[in-house]
């Protein structure tokens, strides 16, 4: 690619006490084969080493405190704010526990520049400690290539602005899916990289998964009410992706058993989140 055609990519990372994973995330961005990148954090008062790590990599930190009801996700607000701070032609929103592989950004840019895509899906492969991390790895691998689960995080900034960014009222998973649906319904094209992004689950516990899913549950109905067909498909517990990848489950029986327990626990917690939201709205 001619240097005159190089375009800037803005990578915004929402943070709050994210020092455990942030160093690896930023290091992976700095090692990208594509170098025309600006990186910044959208932080909300971190008290750990998050800001020190940002200084180490000489990146900007924007302090932003969205007004969110207790128990709901503030991340969609931060992602929208991150887009407002972007100077690039493309906006790529990451999480602090993600690690890019060498050609993630270059492949995404090339797909957009050469084939005219407005959004790019980068599939994730997770890793971590313990049986629940293995179960989550099994789950994520089933989703590779599944457009009802995966969603684009790499977006042409002008397109992001035209569709109004993320709907903060459908946070907890629905924000990503809704953004994807907005792209499709407005006639924008979405591509997919061959390269994979790594997701560091750390030492994953079943309690952590249930707590997160409970929070998701509080906003699940908002997405289903907004997009009934897509919402039911995305949240339905028995997914085509599982049936399609039955051989993967057979080759990892121990992880499969953990996967069944994990998903049962997650859906149970999500159900209680839905009930809680209904009771609170009465």
What is this structure's pTM? 0.93
Tracing tokens 């079943």 back to the chain, one arrives at: 206
**End-to-end CA gap in the chain:** 58
Cα 172 from chain centroid? 10
pLDDT of 38-76, one tens digit each?
A: 999 999 999 999 999 999 999 999 999 998 877 678 899
Q: Which residue ranges in the chain fall short of pLDDT 70?
A: 1-5, 71, 282
Q: List all residues 6 or more positions away from 121 whose beta carbon is below 8 Å from its beta carbon.
A: 147, 150, 151, 152, 153, 190, 191, 192, 193
Phi, psi of 120 (to 5 degrees): -130, 130
The Cα 102–Cα 82 span in angstroms is 23
Q: What is the pLDDT of residue 1?
A: 43
Cβ-contact 58, 39 below 8 angstroms: no
Q: What is the pLDDT of residue 109?
A: 97
- Structural domains of the chain, ranges and CATH numbers in brackets: 3-203 (3.90.550.10)
- Of 42, 79, 45, 44, the closest CA to residue 62 belongs to 42
């Amino acid at each position: 690619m001619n240097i005159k055609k190089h375009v800037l990519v803005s990578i915004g990372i929402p943070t709050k006490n994210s020092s455990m994973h942030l160093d690896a995330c930023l290091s992976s961005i700095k090692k990208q084969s594509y170098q025309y990148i600006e990186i910044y954090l959208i932080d909300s008062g971190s008290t750990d080493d998050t800001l020190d790590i940002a200084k180490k990599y000489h990146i900007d930190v924007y302090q932003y405190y969205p007004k969110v009801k207790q128990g709901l996700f503030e991340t969609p607000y931060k992602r929208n704010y991150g887009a407002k701070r972007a100077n690039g032609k493309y906006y790529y929103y990451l999480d602090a526990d993600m690690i890019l592989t060498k050609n993630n950004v270059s492949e995404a840019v090339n797909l957009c520049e050469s084939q005219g895509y407005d959004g790019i899906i980068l599939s994730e492969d997770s890793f971590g400690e313990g049986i629940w991390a293995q179960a989550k790895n099994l789950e994520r691998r089933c989703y590779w290539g599944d457009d009802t689960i995966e969603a684009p995080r790499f977006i042409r900034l002008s397109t992001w602005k035209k569709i109004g960014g993320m709907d903060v009222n459908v946070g907890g998973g629905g924000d990503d899916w809704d953004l994807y649906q907005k792209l499709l319904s407005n006639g924008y094209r979405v591509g997919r990289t061959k390269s994979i992004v790594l997701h560091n689950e750390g030492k994953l516990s079943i309690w952590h998964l249930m707590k997160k899913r409970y929070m998701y549950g509080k906003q699940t109905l908002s997405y289903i009410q907004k997009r009934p067909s897509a919402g039911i498909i995305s949240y339905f517990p028995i997914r085509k992706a599982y049936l399609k990848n039955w051989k993967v489950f057979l080759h990892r029986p121990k992880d499969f058993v953990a996967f069944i327990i994990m998903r049962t626990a997650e859906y149970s917690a999500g159900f209680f989140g839905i009930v809680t939201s209904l009771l609170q709205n009465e």
